[in-house]
A and B are shown apart, each in its own frame.
Chain A
Amino acid sequence: MHTAPTLAPFEMPDELTERRKRRLLAVLWGCFWILMAAIAVQDQLMNPSTLWWEPLLWEGTSAVAGTVWLIAQLRYARQVRRLLDQPFRWFVRHLKWFPLVAVSFVAAIYTMRHAVYAAVGIEYEHEPWGFLLIQETIKVWLFLGLWLGIIFALESFSLWQEQRHRLATLQKSLAEAQLGQLKAQLRPHFLFNALNTISSLMQIDVPRADRLLTQVAELLRASLRMDQEELTTLGAELDVARLYARIMEERFAERAAIEWRIEDEALNALVPTMILQPLLENAFKHGVEHTSVPAVIVVSCERARDTLVIRIANSGEIVPRPGEGVGLRNCRARLRAHFGERGQLAFTSDGRTAEVRIEIPWQEQLA
C-alpha cells in the first residue's frame, strides 16, 4: 500500500491557525486604532482650541494601554480555551477582570498623558477625576467588550478548525486500517493454496476434501460479512478463527498443532469483527510457514476483571521477526479506533516463541 509522501496541508494545524489568527487580529486592531485616531483628528479640526498633536496623544496612549490589555487577554484566553464550548462561562471569566482592567487602564493613560503634557510644559486640562473615571470606565467596557467578542469569535473558529482536522485524521487512519485489514484478509495466496490442498485431497479422500471445501467457503463468507464498525462476540470470532486454523492444519499436516484455551465466560465478550484471524495468520506465517520445525500455536482468551485478554502464541519461530508487521499495526490501529487507550496490543518474542497479547475493555453481549 502506498502512503503519500507529501504532508497534508493540515499536518501542523495548531501553529498554522494560531499564526493566521494572530495576524488577522493584528490587522483588525491596527485598523481600529487608525479609525479612532482619524475620528479624534476630525474632532480637533472643529475645535481650534486644541493643538494638532493632542488628539493623537490621547488616542495613542489609549492604543498603548489597549495593546497591553490585548496581549494579556490573549494569554488568558489560551488558558480558558476549554471553556469555549460554554460561551457564558467564558465571558464571565474574562469580565470578572474588567473592574481592575478599567481602573488600571484609566490610571495608565492619564499618567502617560500628564507626563507628556508636563514634558512640553503645558497644563493638561480635563474633566474632574470622578466624572472622568465613570466616563472612561464606560468607554473601556464598551470597546473592550467589543474586542472580547472578536477574540471569542476567532478562538472559537480556530478551535472548530482544529477539531475538524482531528476528525479528518482520525477518519483517515480508520480508513487506512480498514483498507489494510481488507488486504490482510484471506490473501489470494491463502485461497489458492487452500484450493490446491482440496484438489490434492479430492483424489484420495473425497469426504475430507468436501469438508475442507465447505470450510473454505464458510471462511470466505465470514470475511465478506466483516464490517469494521461492528463488534461481534468472541464466540463468533473463534468460529471463524477455527475454520481458518483447520484449513491451515490440513495444509501443513504434521507441522502444526493448535491449542485453544478459552474461558467459557469469555465467549460472550464483544470484540471487533475479524480481529483474530489476521493474528492467527501471522502466527502460522512465522511459526509454521517459515520453518520446518513442528510448531504449536496456543490461543487463549480470558477475563481479567474489566478486561478481556486474548493471547496468541506460537513456538517454532526460528528467524525472529524484524519487528511489527503491517498486520499487527493494523490490528493495533483498529483497537485504538474502537477503544482508545484501553485497547492494547503488545508483541513479545524471544526467538523461539512469539506472543501477541490483546487487551480489550470488557463488554458483554446482552442476551
Chain B
Amino acid sequence: MMRVLIAEDEKPARDKLARLLREHDDVDLVALCADGLEAARAIESVRPDVALLDIQMPGLSGLELAAQLSAESAPLIVFVTAFDEHAVRAFELNAVDYLLKPYDKERLFQSIGRVRGRLDDRQTRHNAVATARTQTNAADRLLVPDGELLVLLDTASVESLEADDNYVHVHAGAKHYVLRRTLQDLLAQLGEQRFVRIHKSAAVNIGAIQSFAPLFKGDYEVKLASGRELRMSRRYKDALFARLGR
C-alpha cells in the first residue's frame, strides 16, 4: 500500500483528489490538508510515501513546502497546479510528476503508477527537494517546530546549527528549536552565503561571530553574539579565516 498525503486549499479540488484516490486499491489516504503549514506538520508526523501538493496555497505554497523538507526523508512529490507556471517547468525532469488541473482519473492514476515505480528511488526525492529550493527563497526562511506549531524563521536571526544524532538544534537569539534533519541537508538548503561550518557537528551564522579564542592543538573557541561559545576544529579553521580575510 502506498501512503498518500493531499495538500490542497480549495475544498472541491481536495474532495475530487480524495474521491479519485479512494477508488484506487493500492492507495492509503493518510492525510488531507488545507494549507501548506498543515501539510508540513502532517508530513512530519505521518511520514507519507507520496505527497500531492497544490502549488498555490495560503501560508506556505507547495513549492515552499517542498523546499523546506529534508532531501533525505522527503516523500515523493507530485505537484498539482492549474497553470503551467514557470517554476513547474523546472520539475519536468526532477520531480516525479506534476498534474495540471483539470485532470481526469486516468491522468491521476498514471501519475500514481509513475510514483509507485520510484518509491525506493532516493535520487528522485533528492532532486525534487533540491529543485524546489532553487525555485523559492529557501535559504532565507527555515520552517521549524515551535510547540504545536510550525513557524517560518528568518534565517538571518539564526545564530548556530548544532547536530545531535539525527537532530539539529537551531539557536536563534534566546530561542531554540529542534529539527529532525541532518546538518548537511540543512546547510544544503541554507546555502554557503550565511552559514559556515566550524565543526563536523556545528555551523554558525557568519554575522553572529564575535571573537575567536585559541585552544590547544590549533582548535579555537568561537564566541557568538548571544554569548554562546562553540568549539571550532582546526579542520575548518583555514576555510573560515580565509572567508573572513585573515
Contacts and interface: CB of A to CB of B under 8 A. Distances in A.
The answer to whether A and B belong to the same complex is yes
Interface of A: 187-189, 192-193, 195-201, 203-204, 250-254, 289-292
Nearest to A195: B102
Contact of B15 (A193, A200, A289): A200
A192 B19 contact: no
B101 A195 contact: yes
Contact of A291 (B10, B12, B58): B58
A200 B59 contact: no
A103 B176 CA distance: 94
27 contacts: A188-B82, A189-B56, A189-B83, A192-B83, A192-B100, A192-B101, A192-B102, A193-B13, A193-B82, A195-B102, A196-B10, A196-B13, A196-B102, A197-B10, A197-B12, A198-B102, A199-B101, A199-B104, A200-B13, A200-B16, A203-B19, A204-B15, A252-B9, A253-B11, A254-B11, A289-B9, A291-B59
State the main secondary structure of chain A at its contact with B. helix
A252 B59 contact: no
Given A197-B10, A292-B58, A203 B82 contact: no
Interface of B: 9-13, 15-16, 19, 34-35, 56, 58-59, 82-83, 100-104
Contact of A199 (B11, B16, B56): B16
Contact of A250 (B12, B59, B103): B12
Contacts of A290: 58
A60 to B, nearest CB: 73
Contacts of B102: 192, 195-196, 198-199
Contacts of B56: 189, 289
Nearest to B101: A196
A292 B59 contact: yes
A193 B16 contact: no
Contacts of A188: 82-83
A290 B56 CA distance: 8
A367 B9 CA distance: 46
A220 to B, nearest CB: 16
A193 B85 CA distance: 13
A292 B83 contact: no
B56 to A, nearest CB: 7
B58 A193 contact: no
A289 B56 CA distance: 8
A198 B12 CA distance: 8
Contact of A192 (B11, B35, B82): B82
Contacts of B35: 292
Q: Kindly list the 6 A-B residue pairs having the minimum CB-CB distance in the complex, ordered from nearest.
A: A200-B16, A196-B101, A192-B82, A200-B12, A196-B102, A199-B102
